[in-house]
Amino acid sequence: MENLIEELKLKIIDRLNLLEIDPKDIGPDDPLFNDGLGLDSIDALELVVIFEKDYGITVTEIESMAPHFRSLTTLAEFVKENRTN
């Protein structure tokens, strides 16, 4: 799971152009939205694109993703349980 969390950190930093953030500064349980990384609804859509392109996960309702968007740990658990590639 730790490797998946590190992989997700790098993908988020790269795809969301958060180049000023060092991956080691993001804790696995840090919030991703608002007070944490400061992601917004547009970033949430980009996370869905990452899921679909990189892990073969189809998301039909972005609202249902809210519990999985809490932290890298919850994202990694979601990916691990739902990935098809």
Q: How confident is the model at residue 70 (pLDDT cuts 50, 70, 90)?
A: very high
Do residues 46 and 40 make contact, with C-beta atoms less than 8 angstroms apart? no
Instruction: Give the distance from CA 46 to its chain's centroid.
Output: 9
Q: Say what the pTM is.
A: 0.92
Instruction: Write down the mean pLDDT value for the chain.
Output: 94
CATH number for the segment(s) 2-82: 1.10.1200.10
Q: What average pLDDT does this structure show over 24-30?
A: 95
Instruction: State the Cα–Cα distance between residues 77 and 70, nearest whole angstrom.
Output: 11
Burial class (CB in 10 A: 0-12, 13-18, 19+), 80: exposed
Instruction: State the Cα–Cα distance between residues 33 and 39, nearest whole angstrom.
Output: 4
